Structure 1
Amino acid sequence: MKLAIVTGASKGLGASIAEQLLDAGLGVFTLSRTKNKRLEEKSRQSTKIYKHFTCNLASVNDIEQTMLQMIVSGHNLNISTIYLFNNAAVIKPIANAGSINHSDLIHHTQVNFNAPVMITNMLLKQAKVPCQIINISSSAGERPLQGWSIYNSMKAAINMFTKTVALEQKSAGTDHKIISFNPGIMDTPMQETIRSSTREAFHDLERFKSYKEKGLLQSPDKVASALLNLCLHEEMISGHIYDISDL
């Protein structure tokens, strides 16, 4: 069977990815602080394999212990391929350099960069079958936005991590693949957080508000469908930074 691990599946894009993976017949393990009741109900109404692992991605110990639990849970599942969707992310702090709260900075760096790196590292170390790793990135990783110096930097970092790991796996002759994916601007709780910031902290605030007002935000379900078509039905190019507009 094919097994997918999805971080941040309690809401937004992660929830859409996990639900559509279940519909596609994959086993799904989700990893986040809170459960998704809809996913649990869907799994109860079918024979599909689904398990939620409660984990605080801001905690190194939580990540290590949860990944070990996942590995044990997958031992008897006869897995042929593992898909990892590093989706969980936070947007705060939205602030100019000189005004950044250091606790927010550390939390952001842990969730947006350290956590996906740690999870990828542990998976590659333990996996006995081919792994397809998908890091959810952003156009913010390619261009600066005032007030987003931390978010921009972490998304740029995850893109470079993706490219470097792809190079390493190719050199090692493994079957593992890794990509980054920019989902575009979606109608998610993260967008609500952005719209609640101040113009002093984020000069593009009015433009982001207009995306909602003009109906320009894409639905997470539509984005998840395009991404899963790539992952499950097409040949992923390892190390590539994909954009929703390309799919």
Structure 2
Amino acid sequence: MQYAIVTGASRGLGEAIARQLMEKNVNVIALSRNENAALKTLAEERGVSYEHISCDLSDQHDLDEALEQIVRIAFHEDTHYVYVVNNAGVIEPIDTVGSLDPGAIRTHIQVNLTAPIMLVNRIIGEANDREVHTSIINVTSGAAEKTIHGWSTYSSTKAAINRFTETLALEQEGKGHIILAYSPGVMDTEMQSEIRSASEEAFADVDKFKKMKEEGALRSPDEVAAVLMDLINQPKKIVNGKVYKLYDLIDQ
């Protein structure tokens, strides 16, 4: 049996990835605060299992309990492959350094960096102990490689995720795992709505993002998820530890 653990699966890219994995007959374990009823219905139609684990990734106690549930569900004698998609993320706080809210900083780092590392740490440990191969997909951002006014926390955590992915790939070399980061570009999601609602003082490029929405330049999560599916369906072509960017994959 194959399982996929998808964080932030209730909406946006996470929902699209979970749905497209189910369509490939992969059993899905969804981590999010809210359940997506459409995913449950699709699982019943496809004859695959769907488990929703209610989890606030910013709450360490919630995360610890979720990790125990994931291991109980995903690792058993019939399991032969496990996907991990670290998709959940937050953009706030959007503001200049010196005006950042301390609580928002802590939440941001917990959701965008601590939780993905802890999830992968547990899954890789279980997988190696049980000789189960995995695909680890960490959703990143082009912001990891850019200096963007007002995005110091977001750029920093995404840069850290990229380096974590590279280090993980180095450490797991020869063990049969697929490990990559995926940069999905600019999508039409609720995160984009949050970005557009920022003030120009907090985020100097806010008008640029408003213009992209007005001009219909935002890709749908379904399209972005489909590009990822095409990538992971060609495991022999994947360079472990690499950051794969949507725009490069579309141009190929």
Band of TM-score, shorter chain: over 0.9
Change (3 A) 1:245 1:15: same
Secondary structure of residue in 1 paired with 2:29: strand
1:150 equivalenced with 2:153 (yes/no): yes
**1:110 Cα deviation (Å)?**
0.2
The DSSP-based 3-state class of the residue aligned with 2:46 is coil
Per-residue deviation at 1:76?
4.0
Q: Report the equivalent of 1:203.
A: 204
RMSD of aligned alpha carbons: 1.1
Contact residue 7 and residue 88 of structure 1 kept, 8 A: yes
2:79 is aligned with 1:79: yes
**Contact 2:83 / 2:136 at 8 angstroms: preserved in 1?**
yes
How do residues 187-198 of structure 1 correspond to structure 2 at under 5 angstroms? 187-198=188-199
Ranges in structure 2 where 5+ consecutive residues have no aligned partner: none
Superposed CA deviations along residues 15-61 of structure 1, whole A, max 9, x for unmatched, are 00001111111111101111011101112333111111111101222
1:132 correspondence with 2:132? no
Amino acid at match of 2:149: Q
Q: Which residue of 1 aligns with 2:104?
A: 104
Give 1:83 deviation, angstroms: 0.7
Correspondence for 1:50: 50
Contact 1:8-1:87 at 8 Å conserved across structures: yes
TM-score normalised per structure 2: 0.94
Structure 1 distance, partners of 2:5, 2:140, is 17
Structure 1 outlier segments of 4+, above 4 Å? none
The corresponding residue for 1:9 is: 9
- The alpha carbon displacement at 1:77 in A equals 6.5
For structure 1, the 5+ residue unaligned runs are none
Contact map agreement 2:25 2:46 (CA 8 A) in 1: no
Please point out which of 156, 159, 164 is paired with 1:161: 164
- Report if aligned partners of 2:178, 2:235 keep a CA contact under 8 Å in 1: no
Answer whether contact 1:30 1:51 (CA < 8 A) is retained.
yes
Tell me if 1:241 matches 2:243.
yes
The question of whether the paired residues in 2 share the 8 Å contact of 1:83 and 1:131 is answered with yes
Q: Distance in 1 between matches of 2:248 and 2:157?
A: 23
Identity of matched residues, %: 42
CA shift for structure 1 position 233: 3.4
Amino acid at match of 1:239: G
Query: Aligned to 1:45, what secondary structure does the other structure show?
Result: helix
Amino acid at match of 1:147: G
Q: Quick one: structure 1 residues 77 and 217, their matched pair in 2 at CA, closer, same or farther if it must change by over 3 Å?
A: farther
CA displacement 1:56-111 (0-9 Å, x = unmatched): 10122211211111111224461211110000000000000000000000000000
* Aligned residue number for residue 144 of structure 2: 141
**Maintained 8 Å contact 2:74/2:82:** no
SS in 2 for 1:61: helix
- 8 A Cα contact 1:169 1:177, kept in partner: no
**How many correspondences in the alignment?**
245
